Amino acid sequence: MTSRVLVTGMAWDTALGAGLDDVWSALLSGASGIRPVPSAHKVRNELAAVVPDLPEDYRERQQALGLRALRSAVADAGLELSDPRLQLVVGTSYGPDLDAPDSLARWGDELGAAAGVPTVTVSTACSAGSDAVLVGAALIADGVTDICVVGGVDILTPAKRLGHSLLGTMSPTTLRAFDTARDGMLLGEGAAFLVLESAESAAHRWARVYGAVSGAGSANDAHGATAPDPSGDTVVRAMETALRSAGRDASEVAVLNAHGSGTPVNDDVESLSFRRMFKPAPDGPVVFATKGAFGHTLGATGAMEAMAVLLALRDQCVPAVPGLTEPLPDFPLRLPVHEPLAFSGAVGLSVTLGFGGFNTCLVLEAP
């Protein structure tokens, strides 16, 4: 990237709560927000992760969840929504639209209008939150704007639960990423936003800095609507592109938040991709995953996981992978089992794999 893009504010709203450090502490303690959520329709599993105190109406729920986290992130950065420099880039998968059909772009515009901020909406399936970060970082690096609020929002709806039940991607038991008994994912809902800011703007106002988005890369494998290319070629390409844009080498990566959905095909593709990517580095990064605690929050997951990487870099520690008891025997990197795992380093990656072949990698660095 042509100029340094800093993270000066962060907020999330999850099934584990909304406080930045409270939720991170809950992750480190092994807590999970997944619980039985009754369904009016027969689904493969009634376990899911829901955010409390939200409207039942789907469109209102998506709006309220997004606005709550957006306001918190801007406040965390010490800014006001009325600041004319703010630009919003927001991602979602289907949001409420499978159950209450409308335009996803209109939902993003409505969120921006409610906040009083101009908006760009991104919808690239489960990579939408990551791609929102990518777009916002590019806007700042290229000098288009000084401050972007970027992130993702997605809610749990009956159509999503039915769809993943019919696809067979939903676990009939529980989510256990990279475990020998992995058998699928469990859905969740949530919102997460990061405030990205040029180094000059942050320095001018003496902003607190959580870290930097130093690189990003994306690649589409065009393999299928719901399954990734088993070769892992485009996952590797996304990581290589991101590291190249950051001026970093794979050997410098200390921590990696994996997509970690718990589906056999995704876990296998990630395992192969990481083996290919980090083979030249004898001491590869520690890998963690959070979907077993948050549920798979679809369009929000990339933003939530970028925040988790920044917090891991801050504390030099990652939480255990929820549900993981027996790691895949051929998994190439270290995984935290049962308890947090310490590491040392200043560079981290966040990798997301979305339906439709949308693969994105973010490079995040400690301040």
Residue 270: enclosing H or E segment and its boundaries?
helix 264-278
Question: Could you tell me which CATH number the domain at 5-204 has?
Answer: 3.40.47.10
Cβ neighbour number for residue 71 with a 10 Å cutoff: 16
Task: Among 46-55, 62-71, 186-195, 282-291, name the one with the lowest average pLDDT.
Answer: 282-291
Contact status, residue 84 vs residue 129, Cβ threshold 8 Å: no
Judged against a pLDDT cut of 80, whether residue 2 lies above it is answered with no
The class that CATH gives domain 215-365 is: alpha beta
pLDDT confidence tier of residue 229, bands split at 50, 70 and 90: confident
Buried-exposed string 333-350: b where 16+ CB fall within 10 A, e elsewhere: bbbbeeebbebebbbbbb
Q: Do domains 5-204 and 215-365 have the same CATH topology?
A: yes
Tens digit of each residue's pLDDT (9 = 90 or more) over 250-281: 999 999 999 999 999 999 999 999 999 997 56
Tens digit of each residue's pLDDT (9 = 90 or more) over 305-338: 999 999 999 999 999 999 999 999 999 999 999 9
pLDDT at 102: 81
Q: Which amino acid is at 97?
A: D
Contact status, residue 158 vs residue 99, Cβ threshold 8 Å: yes
Apex 347 CA angle, 324 and 228, nearest 5:
50
Provide DSSP, 271-290.
Answer: HHHHHHHHTT-SSPPEEE--
Residue 138: enclosing H or E segment and its boundaries?
helix 128-141
Domain boundaries, the chain: 5-204, 215-365
Q: Which of 99, 101, 111 is nearest to 155 (CA)?
A: 99
pTM above 0.85, yes or no: yes
pLDDT at 226: 60
